[in-house]
């Protein structure tokens, strides 16, 4: 009878220790997860709500992008992504391949030309220096 009481008390202590270990492990995992997220904002050219859907879809299609929101008035794409899973240039590439110029990458001309008329924005011409 005494042995069963001792074992029950040990079980209660062990249960507390296990709960503390799991709680501590979950805090460590959460802290590690939050350090893998990075927030950034960059310019993406576009005009309308269709552009917004296309730009956000292109960004969110990449594994590692957690959040993408494009603002129509200021043409800024705000992202939360995991830099351990992909590079920022990969996001610029994906958005550019959807037909929208970014601050680092221009969309291919054939893709841009296929956009609906309301989505055609004025493209900045690259000024090439002239050497004599």
What is d(CA 66, CA 116) in angstroms, rounded to the nearest whole number? 28
Interior/surface letters 36-74, b for 16+ CB within 10 angstroms, e for the rest: eeeeeebebbbbeeebbebbbebbbebebbeebebeeee
State yes or no: pLDDT of 132 exceeds 80: no
Domain parsing of the chain, residue ranges: 1-35, 37-119
State yes or no: pLDDT of 13 exceeds 60: yes
**pLDDT tens profile 26-80:** 666 655 555 689 999 999 999 999 999 999 999 999 999 999 999 999 999 999 9
**pLDDT tens profile 79-92:** 999 999 999 999 99
What is d(CA 44, CA 29) in angstroms, rounded to the nearest whole number? 34
- CA end-to-end span of the chain: 102
What is d(CA 120, CA 109) in angstroms, rounded to the nearest whole number? 11
pTM metric for this prediction:
0.69
- What is the residue-wise DSSP string for 63-83? TTEEEEEEETTTTEEEEEE-T
Q: What is the mean pLDDT of residues 94-119?
A: 95
Domain range 37-119, CATH architecture: 2-Layer Sandwich (3.30)
């Amino acid at each position: 009878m005494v042995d069963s009481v001792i074992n029950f008390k040990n079980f209660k202590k062990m249960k507390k220790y296990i709960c503390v270990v799991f709680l501590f492990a979950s805090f460590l995992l959460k802290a590690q997860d939050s350090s893998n997220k990075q927030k950034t904002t960059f310019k993406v050219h576009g005009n309308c709500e269709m552009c917004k859907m296309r730009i956000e879809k292109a960004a969110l299609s990449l594994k590692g992008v957690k959040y993408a929101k494009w603002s129509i008035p200021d043409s800024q794409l705000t992202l939360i992504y995991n830099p351990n899973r992909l590079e920022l240039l990969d996001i610029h590439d994906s958005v550019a391949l959807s037909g929208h110029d970014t601050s680092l990458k221009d969309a291919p001309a054939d893709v841009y030309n296929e956009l609906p008329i309301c989505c055609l924005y004025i493209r900045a011409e690259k000024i090439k220096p002239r050497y004599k």
